[in-house]
Amino acid sequence: MSNWTANPHDLALSKRKGDDFDVKVATQILHLYHKAAQKIPLWSEKMLALDRRSFEQSTPQVVAEFRPQLISGLKLLDLSAGLGVDSTFLSTSFREVLTLESNDKLVEFEKYNDQQLLKTNISRFCDDSIHWKKYCEGVDVLFVDPDRRDEGGKRLYGLEESQPPVLDMLSEFLERVDDVYIKSSPLLDISIAKTYDQRLKALYVIAVDDEVKETLLHYNAEHYGKPEIVSVDLGKTTQLIKNTTLILKLEGMNDNNSKMGKANYLYEPSAAIRKAGIGKKYASSFSMSFINTKSEYYLSHSLTKNWCGRVWEISSKSPVNWSTLKKEFKQRGLSKAHILRKHFPDSAQVIRKRLNLSEGGDTYLVFAKNSQNKAECYQCKRLQ
């Protein structure tokens, strides 16, 4: 396919009468490969077989490449292979991989892709996941990425209505295999996920460039007790933050009127840490103070290195008086700023209108209420 790197719009315009290809189909394929170049670049680089719906539901390559650090063993059974992205990368941490997929077209795609990638330790089967037991001999790890869409195509965020019904099948899974990994939505309610089964050993919140991409639940047949909650941030560097390794000293965290001294830096934990619900533990491990107990903005006198999340240097802090702030900004010639707020009564749009500011520039205005419920504005410059 010599034109696969072409712009789909240009290809459509260049079609001449008598050309023996369906321009609509060709442009759809090009669109798909252009998207794949960003999400799963290996599929684009190697011109591997793609399917639109399965592509949309597939794991981003950066996450799939990371997973072998979490999941390994001798023999893996993947109950919902789809395009085979997950099993392709997990095959590097297993001696043998078996996959099930009920769509025969996708199974052919998987086998073709395995040939192109010289994968020899993966066996693909066209079968429904309800028949998983007959493939279980010698399997020590089971992986499942259930379909989280209803019959009308609407996205489902919990696992209660997923297909296959993994929550109903979980006890049977754990009777036959040691470890079960269930991939779930980035919007999964973690407090609810903890109640699914007491054999939940770990729950991973995985983000890429500060955007949560998925939650991964790890069940172990012999585990009984509280699960480990792990925040994973994948980007220029990989950071794993585990709740069990954080210093829990919440009673020692101070509000912003403490004896810490002047607060010079403001911090926000990464999206994965916030989603995992371990932001306060994480901040306490750096002996930070908080603006208030709900905002997940934290303060320090000196700059904290290796912080996982965003960091700002504070230039000034002032009580929120809209007319005073508006006058100050006008005198300074400040017409643009990024507006941030958490647990603050006014939306960013309302604040922008009150202060007559447009979006942009180098200045960040962070609005929050302190522990005395008084509104404050932090004027900052972003460091990371």
Residues 266 and 292 in one domain: yes
pLDDT, tens only, 279-334: 988 998 898 998 888 888 999 999 998 899 999 999 999 999 999 999 999 999 99
The verdict on residue 146 lying in a domain is yes
Under DSSP, the state recorded for 304 is P
Distance in angstroms (rounded) separating the CA atoms of residues 173 and 165: 12
Pairing verdict, β 298-300 and 265-269: antiparallel
Question: What average pLDDT does the chain have?
Answer: 87
Residues 207 and 112 in one domain: yes
Alpha-carbon dihedral 95, 100, 101, 105, rounded to 10 degrees: 60
The verdict on residue 296 lying in a domain is yes
The verdict on residue 1 lying in a domain is no
Number of domains in the chain: 3
Cis link prior to 164 (omega < 30° from 0)?
yes
What pLDDT score does 64 carry? Answer: 96
Residues 267 and 352 in one domain: yes
Residues 139 and 198 in one domain: yes
Residues 278 and 189 in one domain: no
At residue 182, the 3 state secondary structure works out as strand
Structure tokens, 64: 């799939």
What single string gives the DSSP state of each residue in 218-270?
EEETT--SPPEEEEEEESSSEEEEEGGGS---GGG---TTSTT----EEEEE-
pLDDT band at 246 (very low <50, low <70, confident <90, very high): low
Q: Given 54, 70, 85, which residue is the final one in a domain?
A: 54
Whether 358 shows a pLDDT value over 90: the answer reads yes
The verdict on residue 3 lying in a domain is no
Residues 29 and 164 in one domain: no
Residues 172 and 86 in one domain: yes
What pLDDT score does 204 carry? Answer: 95
User: Which residues contact residue 163 at a Cβ distance below 8 angstroms, ignoring those fewer than 6 apart?
Assistant: 146, 147
Query: Which among 86, 16, 91 is positioned nearest to 57, based on CA atoms?
Result: 86
Distance in angstroms (rounded) separating the CA atoms of residues 132 and 114: 22
CATH code for the domain of 84: 3.40.50.150
What angle, 0 to 180 degrees and rounded to 10, lies between the N-to-C axes of helices 322-332 and 348-355? Answer: 60
Q: Given 214, 242, 270, which residue is the final one in a domain?
A: 242
Percent of the chain at pLDDT > 70 equals 86
pLDDT, tens only, 40-63: 999 999 999 988 888 888 899 999
Mean pLDDT throughout 228-234?
92
Q: Given 242, 268, 284, which residue is the final one in a domain?
A: 242
pLDDT, tens only, 177-202: 999 999 999 999 999 999 999 999 99
Residues 41 and 80 in one domain: no
Query: Which among 58, 42, 65 is positioned nearest to 238, based on CA atoms?
Result: 65
Residues 154 and 124 in one domain: yes
The verdict on residue 2 lying in a domain is no
Residues 149 and 297 in one domain: no
Whether 254 shows a pLDDT value over 50: the answer reads no
Under DSSP, the state recorded for 90 is H
Distance in angstroms (rounded) separating the CA atoms of residues 179 and 201: 9
Residues 196 and 120 in one domain: yes
The model's pTM is: 0.84
Residues 203 and 281 in one domain: no
Distance in angstroms (rounded) separating the CA atoms of residues 367 and 369: 7
Residue 12 belongs to what domain range?
A: 8-54
Distance in angstroms (rounded) separating the CA atoms of residues 239 and 241: 6
